Structure 1
Amino acid sequence: MDINIARSMVLDALQRASSQNSEILKPAETKLKEWETEPGYYAILLNIFSDHSIDVNVRWLAVLCFKNGVDRYWRKTAPNAISEVEKSTLRQGLVSNFREPVNQVAVQLAVLVSKVARFDCPREWPELVPTLLNAVRSEDQLVQHRVLLTLHHVVKTLSSKRLAGDRRLFQDLTSTVFSFVYELWNNHLETFLKLMSENDSAMVSSLEKALLSLRILRKLTVHGFKRPHESVDAVTFLKVVFDRAKTMLECRKSLQNKSHLPELCEKFIIHLTKVLADVLEHHPFSFIPFIRMTLEFSVYYIFTPAGEGLLFERFVIQQLNLIKGILICIEYKPSKVVEETKEPATVEAHQIKLAFFVPPTLTEICHKLVTQYFPLTREELQLWDENPEGFATDEGGESWKYSLRPCTQTLFVTIFHEHREILSSVLLEMIRSNHDPVPPSDLEGILRKDAVYNAVGLAAFDLYDEVDFDRWFTSTLVTELGIRDPNYRIIRRRVAWLVGQWAGVKMSRELRPMLYAATLPLLSGEEDMAVRIAAANTLKLAIDDFEFNTEQFLSFLEPAFGLLFSVLREANECDTKMQVLYVLSFIVERVGAAVRPHSTALVRYLPLLWEESAEHNMLRCAIVSTLVHLVQALGSECESLSPFLLPVIRLSTDVAQDCHVYLLEDGLDLWLAVLENSAYITNDLMLLFRNMPPLLEFSSENLRTCFYIIQAYVLLAPNDFLKEYGATVVSACNDMLSDMRAEGIVMTMHLLELCLRAEPAQSMELLKPMLPRIFEAVHKGEEYPMVMSVYLSIVARVLLGSRNVFGEMVEKVSQHANLPQEQVLDKFMDVWLDKMDVVTQLERRKLLGLALSSLLTAGSRVVLEKFCGILLKVTEALNDVIKADEMGAQLDSLMISDSSGSFQYEEVEQHTEHDLRRKRLATQDPVHTVVLRDYFQQQVMELKNQLGSVQYEDLLQTVDVETMEQTKEYIVL
């Protein structure tokens, strides 16, 4: 096709794909997708986005199409890969013109070049970096900027490659270009500084180019040197960073009235500090020469008057995090005995830190953090007034990296923990000086006390031996909680939080009722919402303690539920509702069955909350999680909730519903909890299982819970469930087995064994499609011990349940292996007798002993040939299960009955219906109802009758003396 026609077609498709009309856009996108593998397509895209006369949206889309093509077809091994000849032409075209006028397109072009560089530089594209370095010398300001932008993205991409060979190549590149880029950075920055009082646009251009150069230098310094401190260039650059940062802080202050420039100066300063932070993170030992310089720089600006008028929030955060990074750096921490530290650099770093963090410096930092950075700001108080829930939301995760308050608090905790011997007295003095009640009208005093209490809460663990919290709580804090003045909401919220922080650290059990009594009024409707949220969290922390006593809390349970519900109802934010719901859920979990008399409100409110939260999947997750704890607490009483619970489970576990992505895990837990606490099966509960087959097919990470649910159904209604869904379950297990690892196989066999125990005859028929594969695995004898153990258990249960089915399976194995049945059985028995030693669980060893005993009367020549081995293995099983009672009599330790007390679930304080069903099933299991020694004796006697005395005596001659003696300890031969 003529190149002009092709270009016209592609251009037309791009113009239509830029349309806002989906009817025009969709066919055009399809057409562009079809052309992706056509030779010459990317050359046309290059031609189009290089033509500045074409609409900018079309050109931008052309670059995106090219980028997508690079991702899919540039790699040599990719299907429909772009030819090497075409790639060579495209590479030349990409760096032939750096005069792109539109910044957004220029950024996309730079990213595009970097994507190609990731594949081809330097091997297939060795000229890329020299071309860029040459072009950056251009006198044309636009070309300079675009080339620097491209070089920045290329260096950023190449520095991210982590293979050893790629890292060596990047280090080679760094050694070639570092000096040049450093000089370039210096020149652009000096130009900017000279233009300070002149042309704004020229200043912006110079600073932007200096910033791009700095970004390149940052990547080269961090990723381009194996040990930056060994490079003269890198050390020179790092030393200059501090002076440049000081200069730019002054520049930012003097340029406050210039549009864009202060913001650009801030970006530049932040990137200077990021250089230090990255070297500290990636090359801690190379950073050692700069530890003192960094600490002096940070403390000078952040904690002395020198920083006044120069600071901005991101810079403060960056400096505080640098101090914290130096404090917690693992490479700077010596052994407990410093002299035993093997790494000299670690000792050097430690000594630098000790020399800097002297008591006066530490005292000043601690004092400034608490008095200058901890008090609530005017903006925060305004947010509290306007949006108390937003104000009360706790910033978690890594918010300390970008948010000032979490940043200052984490630094305080770090520095206090590192130097508690010095700082404890400082903080104790601050407590003493702020101990007296503050008049409600003294807002400054209130904010000061709030800041000190914040510090005491953060340092709770480190102040354990220094603060008598019980006395402080009873004499002062309780009183402060009762002061109702509007300004005192600040103190009430902080004291509530403080009590929560100390509750799990140092608070007497005897004071817990007093804590509950003081906290509950803070949850009332007359209280400020932020205070109510803090009180809810304190209640949770007080209950989440190993010393929690349910009896002490019972009298507060009902009012706590009612008050938490009122907070839940009145909260507007989804996050707040989740937070309070989590507290309620936690209380339900901790008090267990004691919640039953007080559950009415929860049962009444949760369906309403569920309906209201249709658009908030995370809130629904919290509701489902709460329902799990509620069902477990209510036990069989949860059946009254079925009209609400079952639709929730159905929605949460339906893979056809989008919300299942969020709700599935909690939904499965709820499903399992409902089954385990149901006294009987209902039609709706049975119908719910229709959600399970797709889950078995797709949900590998939740397979364990799915299997637990199936087991619960088998125990709840074995006959009805297996009749309805047994074939489906067995088919799914059979399909999954071939792709399963050992753990999954064991899990599957446990499920199948439960079916055989619950409904032996019915399950035997259902399992026939799977049994040959299990028997073949035993015949080969190559499985892991834990897998072989469960396989042998299945075989044993089949044998005890039906010799005919056992014989059928041996026949199927012989047909599949094309071997005589006797030969197959011979090998099968050899494996069984050999692998029985890998079975360690007592119940399984007895089960296999019973099955081997049953084989003695099967009338098989192969079995009689293994007579000695069978006697030995059954005797070994008897050795394990026979225990002497108090009178010295030998008893089968695994025997239980309906009235027996010797069962594992007797130790459980609270039985679920599921536990009771498992116990009932155990009382019907041969392992727990048949005495192995008696059965073994019976089978040997029957074998003697079958064979006759002469043949039986001949058989005994095949048994070695040691085995004979061991066996005679239990039975008469």
Structure 2
Amino acid sequence: MDITTAHSMVLETLQRAANQNAEILKPAELKLKEWETEPGFYSILLNIFSNHSIDVNVRWLAVLYFKNGVDRYWRKTAPNALSEAEKATLRQGLASNFREPINQIATQLAVVLSKVARFDCPREWPELIPMLLTAVKNEDPLVQHRTLLMLHHVIKTLSSKRLAGDRRLFQELTSNVFSFVLNLWNAHMENFLTQVNSNNSEMGATLEKALLALRILRKLTVYGFKKPHESLDAMHFLNLVFDRAKTMLECRKSLHSRGSNLVELCEKFIIHLTKVMIAVLEDHPFSYVDVIQPSLEFTVFYVFTPSGESVLFERFIIQCLNLIKGILMCAEYKPAKVIEETKEPGTLRAHEIKMTFFTANTLTEMCRKLVTHYFLLTRDDLELWDSDPESFATDEGGECWKYSLRPCTENLFFVLFHEFRVILSPVLLEMIQSNHALVSPSDLNAILRKDAVYNAAGLAAFDLYDEVNFDQWFSTTLTQELKVKADNYRVIRRRVAWLIGVWTGVKLSSELRPALYSVTLLLLQSDEDIAVRLTASSTLQHVIDDFEFNTEQFLPFLEPSFALLFTLLKEVRECDSKMHVLHVLSFIVERVGYAIRPYSDSLIQYLPLMWEESAEHNMLRCAIVSTLVHLVKALGAAVCETLSPFLLPIIQMSTDVHMQLHVYLLEDGLELWLAVLENTASMSHNLLQLFRNMPPLLEYSSENLRTCFYIIQAYILLSPEEFLNAYGEVIVNSCNDMLSDMRSEGIVMTMRLVETCLRASPNIATELVKPMLPRIFEAIYDGEEYPMVMSMYLSVMARILLCSRDAFSQVVAEVAQRIRETQEVVLKKMLDVWLDKMALVTQFERRKLLGLALSSLLTAQSSAVLERFCGILLNITEALNDITKTDDMGFQFDALVLTKDSSPAEDTDADFESEHEYRREKVALSDPVHTIALRDYFQTQLSELQNQVGASQFEQLLQTVDTETLEQVREYVVL
């Protein structure tokens, strides 16, 4: 097929792919997918999107397919990689495409060029940067702009490479181009300022070019220098940033007064200037030391003095405040507690600049301005409160301080107050005192001022610990303010609720907790403002989450708290609000445990409805599942029986790796599955069928492997025979496959699972785990595992030996065959490792288990055993030393044997936390470790051995044992 025909076919297919009709679009997309690996396809795409006469939508699709192709096939090692010859043609075509008229396509072209540059520049494409720098000088404004756009994306991409070699290359590139780009930026800036004065129509295009040059300079400055302060050009640029920012702020003010449409672009430019400062501060703090002083002067002048107010806009204020916070928080600027011990001169210098700048007057003015100006609720805030109280009340989390004014100001205040507590405490205390008295409900300004001061008092709570008597404040003013029900006073009620929540964890007497619960319940009433109720719910959570929380003290308030929160949960509409209230309810359930039982019915009945309504809100469903976990744990078997038809489908959905929902719900779903198993009285068909979800999970993720193993153990204890017969083989095969790739921690978990099988159902489990045993026995034979792993391997082997000596012998024979040794050699080596490593086993239960297994071997009629008679007796005796105790009458007893008094029999009054705990105790009753006295068994085995070999040979065996060991043995048994 000739190139013209191919070009026509691709063009026609792209036109169909741009069609809105799915019947036309889908076959075209499949065809394009089929051509992705065809030689020449990307050359045709290049020709299509470079042809300005073709429809824009078609060209747009062509460049997107081209971009995807670069991602997939440009790398030399990629499957179906593009040929070097085609890549050379494509590079040449891309680098000459400087006259694209459509902005969106031009941006995509720049991104494509940068992706190619990431692979090829500078080694395969050394001429790219020089070619772009030459094209930037072109007289055509369009070519200038498009070239700068390409250069920006190329520099941005190259700067993101982090390998040492790539960073060196970028630093070399920076040293070659920085001066040129800086001069270019200055030229465009001067040109723009001239055009603004004459109101030239080209000033927007010029500012866009200046902004692109600035973006390039930012990447070069931050990533192109090891130490920017050692470059005259870099420091000249940093100092220029402040002058340019001042000029552009005035320029923006002028453009704004004219009603120009360039105000937004001008703001973007100013913000980018501040991003330069913040980025250099974060990445090169010691290079920034020389500009700390101008930075602080610049930001404080504009944000905290009346002179700078006229040019401010919100995003600029945020950036300035974050810059001040960055300087205050910078670890490199904080000297050691004893300043003389600080060795870095840059740290000392930075600290000195900060301390000199932040005088008491400056700090006082900043503190007052933050509280009395920036903390005040605005008209917009109050309108949002009226129209959407739930959104207003939702706390912004994460890194919102980087982008939102209120969190940003609060963050700076917190840092500033903590850093200069001695100076600022009296200032804030004076503000609290002057706003202490009750204000008139009709005086909104006074209410807003008090709200701001209370906000500051909460943010500075830890630093005001010794300065404020919060008990007195709470008992008098705050409690009175909560009783004022005037509409404007909702602002105070909400703030006081928040303030109480903050100070509870700092300083509030336990005797005042009941009073606190009472006022919080008042704020949760249905006739209260919804934003106040949501804040009160947060307060309740803070109080309950406190270290000094007393469940008994809270119990009288439990029923009304739960009822009011449940009412709030039903009334709020926003997903975030529901999640928040549900989280508080869940938290109460977790803290009070069984005490919640009488009050939980309403929530239990509502959760299924809420689950159905939350189909589109994955995070809300996460919160519901989390709440169910706490409910099941608190309410036990009763709720599992009642809610089983609701719970099991949720677990099924949350843990099925073939369902999209599992991405969000898997972790909580596994926790719920475990909680249900641990609190279920008996196995049901549906619960057993649910286990079908587990095998894929064992392959799918190591993150949740521990919980998966806990779930399997819970199934085993719930119904050992039924479960192991149904799924035992699947589990053993999965575990056996995983063992080869596991670290020691994973091996220990797997062995504990195997041990649970052997304890719960010895006969079935012994046959089931046989495929795993050769690997375990071989590891013991090699004797090189970590102590904890070896301890678990030896424990599993001991249980096999106690369950079935035949099975033990069969595995030894299989290992001997695999490593081409005799069974006698294998057994001897394993016994040597056993006797050597048993001292590393620290748990008494395991030491006794190994002692029982060694005792059982005494009568195995094996020469390998009798040759190690002394070592065996020594290890059994040491195990006896660990587990033997003496009672009040002087009689010795085995401390690990469970008596009838400690038995979890059906008629006992023992209070188990869950059905699972009860089942674990029952399994312990049949465990040899807890049912056989090692001393008695040891005596029996020695007597049996004497009968087997005769008195003469037994005496000869005793002569192989050293005197000290024999003395220890005689303390426990008769020889």
TM-score (norm 1): 0.97
Report the equivalent of 1:623: 624
Q: CA deviation at 1:891?
A: 3.0
Secondary structure at 2:703's aligned position in 1?
helix
Q: CA deviation at 1:908?
A: 11
Letter in 1 for 2:284: H
Distance in 2, matches of 1:908 and 1:411, equals 55
Q: CA deviation at 1:870?
A: 1.3
Distance in 1, matches of 2:891 and 2:336, equals 59
Q: CA deviation at 1:506?
A: 0.3
Map of 1:844-863 to 2, 5 A cutoff?
Answer: 844-863=846-865
Contact 2:903 2:925 in 1 (8 A): no
Structure 1 stretch displaced more, 546-555 or 815-824? 815-824
Report the equivalent of 1:358: 359
Report the equivalent of 1:786: 788
Secondary structure at 2:704's aligned position in 1?
helix
Counterpart among 743, 749, 757 of residue 747 in structure 1 = 749
Structure 1 stretch displaced more, 489-498 or 600-609? 600-609
Secondary structure at 1:883's aligned position in 2?
strand
Distance in 2, matches of 1:113 and 1:687, equals 54
Report the equivalent of 1:185: 185
Contact 2:718 2:919 in 1 (8 A): yes
Contact 2:49 2:59 in 1 (8 A): yes
Map of 1:86-101 to 2, 5 A cutoff?
Answer: 86-101=86-101
Report the equivalent of 2:588: 587
Q: CA deviation at 1:454?
A: 0.5
Map of 1:666-705 to 2, 5 A cutoff?
Answer: 666-705=668-707
Report the equivalent of 2:712: 710
Report the equivalent of 2:839: 837
Report the equivalent of 1:957: 959
Contact 2:335 2:347 in 1 (8 A): yes
Report the equivalent of 1:206: 206
Distance in 1, matches of 2:464 and 2:621, equals 40
Query: Are residue 567 (structure 1) and residue 568 (structure 2) matched?
Result: yes
Letter in 1 for 2:497: A
Contact 2:336 2:342 in 1 (8 A): yes
Report the equivalent of 1:3: 3
Q: CA deviation at 1:909?
A: 7.8
Q: CA deviation at 1:661?
A: 1.8
The superposition leaves residues 190-223 of structure 1 with CA deviations (integer Å, 9 ceiling, x where unpaired) of 1111111435530001101111111111111111
TM-score (norm 2): 0.97
Report the equivalent of 1:466: 467
Distance in 2, matches of 1:172 and 1:718, equals 68
Distance in 1, matches of 2:621 and 2:159, equals 43
Structure 1 stretch displaced more, 628-637 or 547-556? 628-637
Structure 1 stretch displaced more, 754-763 or 683-692? 683-692
Structure 1 stretch displaced more, 850-859 or 121-130? 121-130
Distance in 1, matches of 2:62 and 2:681, equals 65
Specify whether residues 632 and 908 from structure 1 end up closer, same or farther in structure 2 by C-alpha distance, changes over 3 A only.
Answer: farther
Counterpart among 944, 965, 968 of residue 966 in structure 1 = 968
Distance in 2, matches of 1:337 and 1:755, equals 60
Distance in 2, matches of 1:507 and 1:451, equals 22
Map of 1:596-615 to 2, 5 A cutoff?
Answer: 596-615=597-616
Q: CA deviation at 1:725?
A: 2.5
Specify whether residues 901 and 546 from structure 1 end up closer, same or farther in structure 2 by C-alpha distance, changes over 3 A only.
Answer: farther
Report the equivalent of 2:107: 107
Q: CA deviation at 1:235?
A: 0.9
Counterpart among 875, 895, 898 of residue 896 in structure 1 = 898
Contact 2:903 2:921 in 1 (8 A): no
Distance in 1, matches of 2:343 and 2:425, equals 31
Contact 1:370 1:451 in 2 (8 A): yes
| Identity level (%) | 70
Distance in 2, matches of 1:907 and 1:822, equals 52
Distance in 2, matches of 1:681 and 1:232, equals 77
The superposition leaves residues 589-647 of structure 1 with CA deviations (integer Å, 9 ceiling, x where unpaired) of 11111111211222222222122222222111111111111111112332333233223
Contact 1:184 1:213 in 2 (8 A): yes
Letter in 2 for 1:251: C
The superposition leaves residues 159-182 of structure 1 with CA deviations (integer Å, 9 ceiling, x where unpaired) of 111111111111111111111111
Distance in 2, matches of 1:180 and 1:245, equals 21
Distance in 2, matches of 1:223 and 1:768, equals 59
Query: Are residue 285 (structure 1) and residue 286 (structure 2) matched?
Result: yes
Secondary structure at 1:196's aligned position in 2?
helix
Specify whether residues 89 and 686 from structure 1 end up closer, same or farther in structure 2 by C-alpha distance, changes over 3 A only.
Answer: closer
Distance in 1, matches of 2:868 and 2:230, equals 75
Map of 1:492-891 to 2, 5 A cutoff?
Answer: 492-638=493-639, 639-886=641-888, 888-891=890-893
Secondary structure at 1:489's aligned position in 2?
helix
Contact 1:298 1:320 in 2 (8 A): yes
Contact 2:776 2:793 in 1 (8 A): yes
Secondary structure at 1:700's aligned position in 2?
coil
Report the equivalent of 1:228: 228
Distance in 1, matches of 2:490 and 2:919, equals 53
Secondary structure at 2:202's aligned position in 1?
helix
Report the equivalent of 2:343: 342
Q: CA deviation at 1:886?
A: 4.6
Contact 1:898 1:920 in 2 (8 A): no
Structure 1 stretch displaced more, 561-570 or 317-326? 561-570
Report the equivalent of 1:241: 241
Contact 1:897 1:923 in 2 (8 A): no
Q: CA deviation at 1:157?
A: 0.8
Letter in 2 for 1:112: V
Structure 1 stretch displaced more, 793-802 or 932-941? 932-941
The superposition leaves residues 387-416 of structure 1 with CA deviations (integer Å, 9 ceiling, x where unpaired) of 000111110000000000000000000000
Distance in 2, matches of 1:30 and 1:200, equals 50
Letter in 2 for 1:954: Q
Contact 2:569 2:581 in 1 (8 A): yes
The superposition leaves residues 429-453 of structure 1 with CA deviations (integer Å, 9 ceiling, x where unpaired) of 1111111111111010100100000
Distance in 2, matches of 1:138 and 1:643, equals 73
Q: CA deviation at 1:907?
A: 15
Specify whether residues 858 and 622 from structure 1 end up closer, same or farther in structure 2 by C-alpha distance, changes over 3 A only.
Answer: same
The superposition leaves residues 228-265 of structure 1 with CA deviations (integer Å, 9 ceiling, x where unpaired) of 11111111111111111000000001101344311111
Aligned residues: 971
Structure 1 stretch displaced more, 563-572 or 741-750? 741-750
Distance in 2, matches of 1:247 and 1:602, equals 61
Secondary structure at 1:891's aligned position in 2?
strand
Letter in 1 for 2:719: A
Query: Are residue 942 (structure 1) and residue 963 (structure 2) matched?
Result: no
Distance in 1, matches of 2:455 and 2:911, equals 41
Report the equivalent of 2:919: 917
Unaligned runs of 5+ in 1: none
Query: Are residue 218 (structure 1) and residue 218 (structure 2) matched?
Result: yes
Contact 2:390 2:530 in 1 (8 A): yes
Contact 2:904 2:922 in 1 (8 A): no
Contact 1:793 1:847 in 2 (8 A): yes
Distance in 1, matches of 2:615 and 2:85, equals 56
Structure 1 stretch displaced more, 272-281 or 40-49? 40-49
Secondary structure at 1:395's aligned position in 2?
coil
Letter in 1 for 2:929: V
Secondary structure at 1:701's aligned position in 2?
coil
Contact 2:114 2:157 in 1 (8 A): yes
Distance in 2, matches of 1:15 and 1:819, equals 73
Distance in 2, matches of 1:189 and 1:902, equals 84
Contact 1:195 1:203 in 2 (8 A): yes
Q: CA RMSD in A?
A: 1.9
Distance in 1, matches of 2:813 and 2:189, equals 87
Secondary structure at 1:484's aligned position in 2?
coil
Distance in 1, matches of 2:554 and 2:638, equals 22
Report the equivalent of 1:406: 407
The superposition leaves residues 553-600 of structure 1 with CA deviations (integer Å, 9 ceiling, x where unpaired) of 111111111111111011000100000000001011111111112112
Distance in 1, matches of 2:892 and 2:235, equals 81
Secondary structure at 2:100's aligned position in 1?
coil
The superposition leaves residues 363-401 of structure 1 with CA deviations (integer Å, 9 ceiling, x where unpaired) of 000000000000100001000000000111110000000
The superposition leaves residues 873-930 of structure 1 with CA deviations (integer Å, 9 ceiling, x where unpaired) of 2122223222344555443222222313999xx9998622211221222122111221
Distance in 2, matches of 1:587 and 1:572, equals 22
